[in-house]
Amino acid sequence: MITYPQARTCPYQPAPGYDELREGPPLRKLPLVNGQQAWIVSGYEQARALFADSRVSSDRTNPGFPMIMPPAIQAVQTSPNRPFLVRDDPEHNRVRRMLISEFTVRRLKELQPEIEKVVHSTLDAMLAAGPPTDLVTAYSLPIPSLVISRMLGVPWEDHEFFQNATRTVIQSKDPETAGKATGQLLAYISNLAQDPPPGLIARLKQEQVETGAMTLNDLVFNSLLLLGAGHETTSSMISLGVLTLLEHPGQLAALRSDPDKVPGAVEELLRYLTIAEGPMLRVAVADIPIAGEVIKAGEAIVIVGSIVNRDPDVFADPDRFDVSRGATHHVAFGYGVHQCLGQNLARTELRLALSALFERVPDLRLAVPVDELELRPAMTIQGVNALPVTW
C-alpha cells in the first residue's frame, strides 16, 4: 500500500509510487505520511466534482483537514489571519473580489508590454554574462519575481531577501528555520504596508484597510501569499517547461516551426507537469456520496493533480507530451471557486518567457544530465533548485 505524498524521481514525471493510483479506483482511502487516513482522488471526473462541491472545504482549521504541508506553511494557513485561499465562502469570495481586478485577462493584456520588457531585459543580462549558467537564477526566477514585485509595489532591491526566505519556508526540513523565515517575511511586509509604494498593497490599504473592509493583518497575510505564490510557482514552471521541451526535441522543433503553438504548449506543460499539489488538499464538511463511496464529514481529501491530469478517460495517451494536444481543461490551477487567482498572470509569463528564450537562444541545451538535477521534496512546489544550461 502506498502513502501520500511521495517524491518525484524525474522532474517532469509524477512520483513512480503513484503508478498504483492510476490502476485502481478513482478514489480510495490511504494513509498519509503523518499517519492520517485520507481519501486519495485520482480520477478526473471525481476531482472536478469535489473541487466544485460546497460540502468540500479548503479551510485548514476545519477538523480532519490533511495536515501534510511543511510546518511553517501550515502555521500561516491556520492563523486567524490566514490568506483567503485557505478560507471558504463567503469570506474567500469577499477577499477574492478585492484582488481579482489585477489578475483578469484584460488586465494582463494591459501588462503584457511591461512583462515583455522584463523578459527581454532579463534575457539580455543572461546572454551578456555568457554560458554556462543556472537558468533558475539567471532567468526563471527573476522574471516572475520582478513582475509580481512591480504589481504589489515591493521594492526590487529586496528581491534576494524575499526569494531566499520564501524558498526556506517551502523547502527547509527544520521547522525552526522555516518558522524564522516566515516571521521575517511577515515582518517585512508588515513594515512595507505602513507606507507602501504604489501598487496593489497600497491600493488595498487605501480602499479596504482604511475603510474597515480588511484588517491590516489580513492585508499582510494575503500579500505574503501573493508575493510567494506569484514568483515561486511560475519560476518552477519556466524551469521545468524548458527542461521538458529540451528533453522532447521533436515537440520543441514543432513549437519553433509554428510560434502559434506556444499558448497550447503552455497548457500542455501545465497538464503534464502539475507542480502544485498543496492547494488540492480538502476536507469534507458533510457526507458526500461519490463513485460508489461515501466521504464522511470530517474526512480528509487529497486530490492528486499530477495523476488527475493524466486520466486516460480524458486525455488520450496521457503520458505523451504533445504541444498540439489542446489540453485546456486540465486542473493544474484547480477548479471551482478556489481556482488559482493568478492563472492568467502565470500563463502570460510562461508564454512570453518560453517564446523569447527559444527564439533568441536557438542552441540552448542542458549542461548536466537530467539525473544529476536536484529535485525538490514532496509536498512542495515541484521543480529543480538549479538548471545548468549552456549554448
| pLDDT number for residue 130 | 97
Burial class (CB in 10 A: 0-12, 13-18, 19+), 292: exposed
Q: Does any domain span residue 75? A: yes
What is the overall mean pLDDT for the chain?
95
| pLDDT number for residue 378 | 82
The answer to whether the Cα torsion of 204, 210, 214, 220 is positive or negative is positive
Residue at 264: amino acid letter: G
Question: Average pLDDT, stretch 334-353?
Answer: 97
Q: Does any domain span residue 189? A: yes
Q: Residue 72: pLDDT above 80?
A: yes
Burial class (CB in 10 A: 0-12, 13-18, 19+), 238: buried
| pLDDT number for residue 236 | 96
Packing angle of the helix pair 105-129, 142-152 (nearest 10 deg): 140
Contact indicator for 322, 251 with CB cutoff of 8 Å: yes
Q: Does any domain span residue 6? A: no
Q: Name the most confidently modeled range: 16-20, 220-224, 273-277, 294-298.
A: 294-298
Q: Residue 279: pLDDT above 80?
A: no
Confidence of residue 229 (pLDDT cuts 50, 70, 90): confident
- The domain total for the chain is 1
Q: What is the CATH number of the domain that holds 182?
A: 1.10.630.10
Contact indicator for 139, 240 with CB cutoff of 8 Å: no
Lowest mean pLDDT among 49-58, 132-141, 158-167, 296-305: 158-167
| pLDDT number for residue 94 | 96
Length of the chain: 391
Q: Does any domain span residue 8? A: no
Report the percent of the chain where pLDDT is more than 70. 100
| pLDDT number for residue 380 | 75
Question: Average pLDDT, stretch 382-389?
Answer: 96
DSSP conformation letters of 131-153: SSEEHIIIIITHHHHHHHHHHHT
Local structure of 157: helix, strand or coil: helix
| pLDDT number for residue 316 | 96
Residue 357: which of 349, 367, 345 has the closest Cα? 349
| pLDDT number for residue 141 | 95
Question: Average pLDDT, stretch 330-345?
Answer: 96
Question: Average pLDDT, stretch 73-84?
Answer: 91
Q: Does any domain span residue 3? A: no
| pLDDT number for residue 171 | 83
Local structure of 303: helix, strand or coil: strand
Q: Does any domain span residue 2? A: no
| pLDDT number for residue 90 | 96
386: cell is 538549479
Question: Average pLDDT, stretch 177-181?
Answer: 91
Containing domain of residue 173, as a range? 16-390
Question: Average pLDDT, stretch 101-124?
Answer: 96
Q: Does any domain span residue 1? A: no
Q: Residue 24: pLDDT above 90?
A: no
Question: Average pLDDT, stretch 143-158?
Answer: 95
| pLDDT number for residue 356 | 98
* Three-state secondary structure string covering 265-295: HHHHHHHHHCCCCHHHEEEECCCEEECCEEE
220: cell is 499582510
pTM across the whole model: 0.95
Q: What is the per-residue pLDDT across 189-228, written as a single tens digit (0 to 9) for each? A: 999 999 999 999 999 999 999 999 999 999 999 999 999 8
| pLDDT number for residue 167 | 87
Q: Does any domain span residue 4? A: no
